[in-house]
Amino acid sequence: MKRSLFVLFFFSNILSAENYPSAFSTGVSFSGYNSRYYTKRQETVWFRGEVCLKDFVLLLPDPECSKHKVFLEKRGETYLGSYQFENKNIYLSYGNRFRPLNHFFFLREKFDFSSFWFLEQPTVRTGFLGLKFGEGILGTYYAENSADKQPGFFFKPYKNYLELAYSPQTKEGFILLEFPSSDERKLERKPYWFRTEIFGTKDDPQGIISTSWTDREKDKRIFVSGFRGRSGQLFQLSERTDPEEKAELFRFVWEPGPYRRLQFAESSRYSSDGKELYSAQSVLGRMEILEFPWFAILAQARAYSFSDHSSWVFGKGLYIAYQKKFWRWELGQEWRKNGDRLTEAGLQLSIGKNWKIYSSLIYAEEKNLYPAFAEESITPEETGLVVTDKSFYSFLRIFHPYFSIHIRHTREKESKGDGLSMRFQVYIPVFD
């Protein structure tokens, strides 16, 4: 009976909680990757608490009270604790979670990240001290292996529109520039957004730049993005790659109406010393040839160029699809002039304000000579194109404010090996 009441208590809070994150919450996270070359797993169990001490002293709510936050977690076999203090004048934090900047790549732990936009990202061990002036903050920070011998500096002039940080020890800088801000963008009130998130040294900058304009009522969109990061984020090839390799992606998408798309994409791989190793380009055009209330039949033309082949290859495709506002699905096949054949499927669903489901799938014939482009997440908010020569490539992302699932499954040609990457996270609000 007690166990049933306990479950009912938590379930009722999950259904009723609307503020993210709640004052007290808990959760679990599992991340893993397994292939014939490499295996790694990490489990995290955590508890988060947030209090305003003046509420308990005066028994009255006070918007100017000092905030205290605690984050306790177990990452694998390691126990970690983080603490943050903040009032209208001072920001202070220490541990592996709290930081005053929203920059996704800023000092985060490389293997894992939180899919919940409202939850603090896992970081290396850090310490921050800042002075607040209105909506801005200026301060210094400590970070394991990058600012432990010489302190770094950070500056946020106003809200979340602009953030700057720099480590004199490693000569590594961070910049975040976005409009509207991440908090405003979640409300989906503006049809446009611009975001620049860059980090690294002067000789090796990385990050993402993207801008978009969307008319949700008429299903129109223009999207431009550029990304530079680890090679494994943009290339999933059968040959093993050096972990120090970098890759770049430029992508332009114009959708003048439902079922119509013009897209250009270019991806490049670079060695650790900056030499280009491989490049791939794709030009795509698509439009409807028959449209019905619940689906449409689409014709597609696509041209590919790869640096290890001297000429362009052309392909034509036939797809069945449905598209309206936040609901999209498609299934079809592409025939290339050189004899390659490719089966593709995609799904994008937004149900209410909370549910978001995204999936993509590619099945390539064993005899195919050329790779393909697959769409997948780069960060929790950005999607990109991955160049892959796998015979099977699938990606699934399910997001709800209380749980998140990311699964990628690949299979090499001739069934020589499978790769499975999975991240499963649960967020449980205890009470506000």
Query: Of 355, 393, 358, 357, whose CA–CA distance to 374 is shortest?
Result: 393
Same domain flag for 218 and 97: no
DSSP string over 234-280: TEE-SS---TT-EEEEEEEEEEEETTEEEEEEEEEEE-TTS-EEEEE
Do 211 and 180 lie in one domain? The reply is no
3-state secondary structure 194-216: EEEEEEECCCCEEEEEEEEEEEC
Q: Are residues 218 and 112 in the same domain?
A: no
Last-in-domain residue among 158, 186, 214: 186
- Cα–Cα distances in angstroms (integers) from residue 46 to residues 12, 20, 27, in the given order: 21, 16, 6
In a domain, 230, yes or no: yes
Chain segment 369-413, per-residue pLDDT in tens: 899 998 887 665 667 888 998 899 999 999 999 999 999 998 887
**130 and 34, same structural domain?**
yes
Question: How many distinct structural domains can be found in the chain?
Answer: 2
159 and 222 housed in the same domain: no
For 139-204, the DSSP string reads EEEEETTTSSSS-EEEEE-STTTEEEEEETTTTEEEEEEEES-HHHHHTT-SSEEEEEEEEE-SSS
* CA–CA distance, 345 with 332 (Å, rounded to integer): 7
Residue 145 and residue 110 in one domain: yes
CA atoms of 279 and 271, how far apart (whole Å) = 12
Euclidean distance between the first and the last CA atom of the chain, given in angstroms as a whole number: 25
3-class DSSP assignment, residue 298: strand
What tens digit of pLDDT does each residue of 14-40 get?
444 456 788 899 999 998 888 777 788
Residue that is last in its domain, among 186, 221, 255: 186
172 within some domain:
yes
Query: Minimal CA–CA distance to 395: which of 403, 102, 1, 385?
Result: 385
Tell me the pLDDT band of 2, cut-offs 50, 70 and 90.
Answer: very low
4 contacts: CB under 8 Å, gap ≥ 6: none
Q: Residue 389 is which amino acid? A: D
Query: Which of these ranges, 184-188, 226-230, 271-275, has the smallest mean pLDDT?
Result: 184-188
Residue 68: predicted pLDDT: 93
Q: What is the pLDDT of residues 352-378, one digit of tens each?
A: 778 889 899 999 988 888 999 988 876
Answer yes or no: do 161 and 215 share one domain: no
What pTM value is reported for the model?
0.83
3-state secondary structure of 232: helix
Each residue of 312-339: pLDDT tens digit? 999 999 999 998 877 889 999 999 999 9
The CATH number given to whatever domain includes residue 396 is: 2.40.160
325 shares a domain with 181: no
Quick check: is 109 in a domain?
yes
Range of the domain at 330: 203-400
- Give the integer Cα–Cα distance in Å for 374 and 49: 40
Q: Which helix (H) or strand (E) holds 81?
A: strand 78-86
Identify the helix (H) or strand (E) that includes residue 414. none
Tokens of 366: 């064993």
Six token digits for residue 181: 């801000």
Could you count the other beta carbons within 10 Å of the beta carbon of residue 103?
A: 22
35 and 172 co-located in one domain: yes
Whether 414 shows a pLDDT value over 90: the answer reads no
- Is residue 386 a part of any domain in this protein? yes
DSSP state of 97: S
**Helix, strand, coil % (nearest 5) of the chain?**
5, 60, 35
Biggest distance spanned by C-alpha atoms of the chain: 77
Strand, helix or coil for residue 408: strand
Indicate whether 12 belongs to any domain.
Answer: no
Q: Are residues 74 and 223 in the same domain?
A: no
Tell me, yes or no, whether 292 and 392 share the same domain. Answer: yes
198 within domain boundaries: no
DSSP H helical ranges for 103-142: none
Mean residue pLDDT across the chain: 86
Residue 238 CA: distances (Å) to CA of 312, 367, 406, 411: 22, 14, 22, 9
Total count of residues recorded for the chain:
432
Q: What sign does the CA torsion over 196, 200, 201, 206 have?
A: negative
Both structure tokens of 427: 């967020």
Same domain, 310 and 171: no
Nearest to 85 by CA among 129, 139, 137: 129
Which stretch of 45-54, 125-134, 157-166 has the lowest confidence by average pLDDT? 45-54
Structural domain includes residue 117: yes
List the strands of the sheet with 235-236, edge to edge. 235-236, 383-388, 372-377
